[in-house]
Structure 1
Amino acid sequence: MAKSVTTYEKPTPHIGLADWYAKQWELEKSAETRRSDAFDLRNTGRIIRAETQIRTEWDTRMNNTRLEDRVTELSRWENLLQSLLERLELEIRLLKDDKADTETELENLNIPVQVTAQCISMRDCRRGTELTYDDGDTELKKELCVVEGTKNTLTNRVQAAWEKLNRLEEVRFKVNLDLQDKRETLEIDRENLSLDRTCANLSYKPDALRTPNNSISYDTWLEHCRHIKLLADNELSDTYSFREAIRVIRERTRNNIRAQQDFTDFTLRKRIYQTQKAKNELEWQKLKMQREMDTLQKELTRLDKALLAKTDAIKCAETRLENRTCRPGFELCRDESEIGLKEEVLQLRQTKEDLTERINCAKATYNGLESLLIRMDKNLDDKQHSLMTDIMCLDMRSTLKTGDRARLANETDRNIVLTRMEKEIPREN
């Protein structure tokens, strides 16, 4: 048949209607499958997102809590170590002050040693019988021993204080070092606690899960902190007692030295009193001896005159006897006159011998008195020298008394001060 319209078809194979329905069904099933898979995927993604968000938030919160607890714990240890460090610094300062005071006390002991040694040397210059081992000499030597013993005791205490200071400074260094580490750790942890996912300077880190080579366990760290605290507590526990012991020893040695000095001064004053008393007694004896020597000298003069008178009397009696030998004849008889003259001569001769013997005895006595007087003069001079020596020793030792122990105008004023009698004495109008 004739065609009025020309039609054209693609030169590709055409499918049938059944195949079209099949293709359509296949597309529907594929779309449903894809939609189901997309729904499952969306649901699974939503669940994963929710779970991961919750886990991330809880992990972050738990780690923040852990960091806060760690910061609190570190802060507590920091405060504790800071308190220990302040106590250590206070004890070190106080112990240094006590050590300096003890060293000053030790240096001040050089003056008592020098004064005591000079007093011993000065008293050793006494002369004659005054050079004795008296109580003053004994107490001076005892005082020297007390001062030397005190120097040894204080020296040992200074050495012990130096060793204690070294230990305290070593502990302070360890505490300070640990405190600095904790402060740096606190700064790091506080900075980490302030970080969140919105902060700047966040980046991936290479091998963030690595464990540092020098890291330790928490138990080891806690044991180290307790060890530092125990070390500081042990050193601080006896520091106060140690300082008090130094002060007690310093005061005790000072009191011992003062007591010995006072007793030595008392002994020297007692010796001065004894020496002055002996000097006064010797001067009185010297005065009586001088009077006795004057009396004896006068007696010697009278004895010499008496002897001279007896010599003339003997001459007269012997001359009479000699003249009577010239009587002539029977007149040369032994009459009573001759017998009386002979008895007179014998008596005068005996008297002369007695007078001569008495004069010799008197001269010997006078010479003995004169020798004794010379000895007494020498002894008086020695006593005067000893007296001046002891007085000079007391004056020299007055430099040892300072403060309320300083020498007053006289011993009466000193006794008034010592016995606190100034309130009992009425004031002068």
Structure 2
Amino acid sequence: MELVGSTLTATYARPKTSHFLPAISTMSASYRGHQPSVGLTQSARDQPWRTNMYFRSSGTVPTLASLQTPPQDLVRAKTTLYPSSRAALSARYTPEDWHKSNQSYYRESESSRNSAERLRWDTVRLIQDKEQLTRRSQESTSRNIGKRINDITFWRSELSHEIDSMVGEIAALAEVKRRLDRALAETEGPLQVAQECLYHREKRMLIDLVHDNVEKEIIREVELMKSCQQRMRRHADLAAAQLASNRAAQHEMERDLSDKAIAQRIDSRCRQLRNTSDGISFHRGIERLDPSLSLPDSWSKFTDDNILRSQSERAASHKLRDDIEFLLSSTSNEMWSQFNSVNVAFTNRISEIAEAKNSLQTHLAKTLQEIFQTENLIEVLKKAIRDKESPLKLAQTRLEERTRRPNVELCRDSPHHRLVTEVREIEETMGQLRERLQAAEGALQTLVKTKVSLEHDISIKANSLFLDQEKCMGMRKTFPSTPRLVGYT
């Protein structure tokens, strides 16, 4: 039996799925929770399309049947209805529930539509804003890349200019070093000549082996040339070290220039890339910070340091070139001046030796003349002595003959006294002549010794004159010219 206003199909069972209504969109906003209804319990707020009686049998909200049917009739109806009918009746919705459910759906639909509309417009605005932001970011990135390319171009031009300057400085320093090496090689000949002069002058003999002004000047010339060679070698070593430093600075700048050329080529390619360009792809995690990357300040400072180092090396190289030029000029002047001083000393010494030799030869000639005259004198004295022998014999013979006079006739008369005086005078004369002969012979011996000494001294002077004039001055006829001493030829 059916009651009026009730149907058998009004009973609702728990749905088998967790979502009663199907989704109307694939957006995640379509799955938002429903707005809670006022006055409903937590279960009713969570599931507004279900009745309170379904979840709670002793609900406080009165049903439509209880409002329309008096309590006594309700009790009577309950007593007269079957149990199954009573259960079905207790599970029915009221019109108020129905209207509330509709209103809830209306509000939920309006809220969902408003949320969806707001989400749609916010999404459209977000897409537009992000599109503009992305475009502005790309434009800013392109501008930054362009600025970076300009910075790289500036530093490349600075590096190229500095490299050109450094290449020129290296070539100039290398040329000066070659001149220095040639000048150093040119000093070997004059040094060997000076040492040969000292060696030859050691062959002087006896009194001529003196520490004269020529020897002092030659020793000073040897010391000067050795000092010049030492300074040249020291500056050559400095030039070699400076060339190595210059080439190291050039290598660093060339490597930096090569790196900047690669970076500029990469940045230029990056600047030309577009969203539609070929070859673009995802690179996950590429935006992570790499601690090994340099900063703009360190990047510019690195190139600036390379340029400053190159400028410093170029300044040092230029100063070294000036020092080498001054050294070549000063050493050339010093060696030429000392060469002329030695030659002047040689000329003066040769003049002195020649004059002494001429004087000795003059004295030798006079000595030879005197020897000749002394020898003649000795012969004259010997002849004079021989000539006195006959008068002496005569006087002695007369005396001896007169001794034979007999008796009284043997008297000391005036002829006797005169003969005695004559004998004494002749003997005295002969004694004086012998003394003069001895003196003449002694003088002759002295003259002969003097002649030998003069001849020996003349030979010594001739040897010294030969050594200084022929040997030494013969080697010193030529000397490297000033251009050769400064390394130009």
State the alpha-carbon separation in 2 of the partners of residues 160 and 351 from structure 1. Answer: 94
Match of 2:249 among 167, 171, 178: 171
Gapped regions of structure 2 (runs ≥ 5): 1-106, 485-489
Residues 95, 161 of structure 1: 8 Å contact kept: yes
State the alpha-carbon separation in 1 of the partners of residues 292 and 309 from structure 2. Answer: 23
Q: Partner of 2:464 in structure 1?
A: 386
- 1:217 and 2:300 matched: no
Q: Cα distance, 1:48 vs. partner?
A: 4.0
Residues 113, 147 of structure 1: 8 Å contact kept: yes
State the alpha-carbon separation in 2 of the partners of residues 127 and 230 from structure 1. Answer: 67
| CA deviation profile, 1:281-306 (whole Å, cap 9, x unmatched) | 11111111111112222222211111
- 1:56 and 2:134 matched: yes
Counterpart residue type for residue 473 of structure 2: L
Q: Partner of 1:395 in structure 2?
A: 474
State the alpha-carbon separation in 2 of the partners of residues 223 and 110 from structure 1. Answer: 49
Counterpart residue type for residue 194 of structure 1: Q
| CA deviation profile, 1:217-242 (whole Å, cap 9, x unmatched) | 22222332332222222222222111
State the alpha-carbon separation in 1 of the partners of residues 217 and 224 from structure 2. Answer: 10
Q: 1:401 to 1:33 in 2, by over 3 A?
A: closer
| CA deviation profile, 1:201-225 (whole Å, cap 9, x unmatched) | 2222232312335212222223323
- 1:311 and 2:380 matched: no
Counterpart residue type for residue 476 of structure 2: R
Counterpart residue type for residue 176 of structure 1: E
Q: Cα distance, 1:334 vs. partner?
A: 0.9
Counterpart residue type for residue 360 of structure 2: L
Residues 332, 482 of structure 2: 8 Å contact kept: no
Q: Partner of 2:146 in structure 1?
A: 68
| CA deviation profile, 1:143-202 (whole Å, cap 9, x unmatched) | 111111111111111122222222222222222222211111111111111112232222
State the alpha-carbon separation in 2 of the partners of residues 157 and 66 from structure 1. Answer: 50
Q: Cα distance, 1:327 vs. partner?
A: 1.4
Q: Partner of 1:12 in structure 2?
A: none
Q: Partner of 2:342 in structure 1?
A: 264
Residues 367, 447 of structure 2: 8 Å contact kept: yes
- 1:281 and 2:359 matched: yes
State the alpha-carbon separation in 2 of the partners of residues 120 and 225 from structure 1. Answer: 59
State the alpha-carbon separation in 2 of the partners of residues 81 and 137 from structure 1. Answer: 58
Match of 1:153 among 231, 237, 243: 231
Q: Partner of 1:339 in structure 2?
A: 417
Superposition TM-score, scaled by structure 2 size: 0.72
Counterpart residue type for residue 398 of structure 2: R
Match of 1:212, SS state, is coil
Residues 139, 267 of structure 1: 8 Å contact kept: yes
State the alpha-carbon separation in 1 of the partners of residues 404 and 109 from structure 2. Answer: 214
| CA deviation profile, 1:338-373 (whole Å, cap 9, x unmatched) | 111111111111110100010111011111111111
Residues 102, 154 of structure 1: 8 Å contact kept: yes
The alignment-based identity, stated in percent, is: 24
More deviation, 348-357/110-119: 110-119
Q: Partner of 1:121 in structure 2?
A: 199
Counterpart residue type for residue 271 of structure 1: R
Q: Cα distance, 1:249 vs. partner?
A: 1.0
Residues 128, 379 of structure 1: 8 Å contact kept: no
Q: Partner of 1:254 in structure 2?
A: 332
| CA deviation profile, 1:285-334 (whole Å, cap 9, x unmatched) | 11111111122222222111111111111111111111111112222111
- 1:132 and 2:210 matched: yes
More deviation, 225-234/244-253: 225-234
State the alpha-carbon separation in 2 of the partners of residues 402 and 280 from structure 1. Answer: 36
Q: Partner of 1:112 in structure 2?
A: 190
State the alpha-carbon separation in 1 of the partners of residues 273 and 385 from structure 2. Answer: 141
Match of 1:238, SS state, is helix
Residues 186, 480 of structure 2: 8 Å contact kept: no
State the alpha-carbon separation in 1 of the partners of residues 397 and 193 from structure 2. Answer: 82
Residues 170, 247 of structure 2: 8 Å contact kept: yes
More deviation, 42-51/377-386: 42-51
| CA deviation profile, 1:259-294 (whole Å, cap 9, x unmatched) | 111110111111111111111111111111111112
Counterpart residue type for residue 394 of structure 1: M
Q: Cα distance, 1:42 vs. partner?
A: 6.8
Counterpart residue type for residue 382 of structure 1: I
Q: 1:399 to 1:291 in 2, by over 3 A?
A: same
- 1:327 and 2:405 matched: yes
Counterpart residue type for residue 132 of structure 1: V
- 1:101 and 2:198 matched: no
- 1:82 and 2:160 matched: yes
Match of 2:260 among 182, 185, 188: 182
Q: 1:308 to 1:401 in 2, by over 3 A?
A: farther
Match of 1:313, SS state, is helix
State the alpha-carbon separation in 1 of the partners of residues 323 and 112 from structure 2. Answer: 94
State the alpha-carbon separation in 1 of the partners of residues 187 and 372 from structure 2. Answer: 57
Match of 1:352 among 430, 450, 469: 430
Match of 1:398, SS state, is coil
Counterpart residue type for residue 139 of structure 2: R
Q: 1:355 to 1:261 in 2, by over 3 A?
A: same
Decide which structure has the larger Cα Rg and report it: 2
Residues 310, 348 of structure 1: 8 Å contact kept: yes
| CA deviation profile, 1:104-159 (whole Å, cap 9, x unmatched) | 22222221221111111111111232222111111111111111111111111112
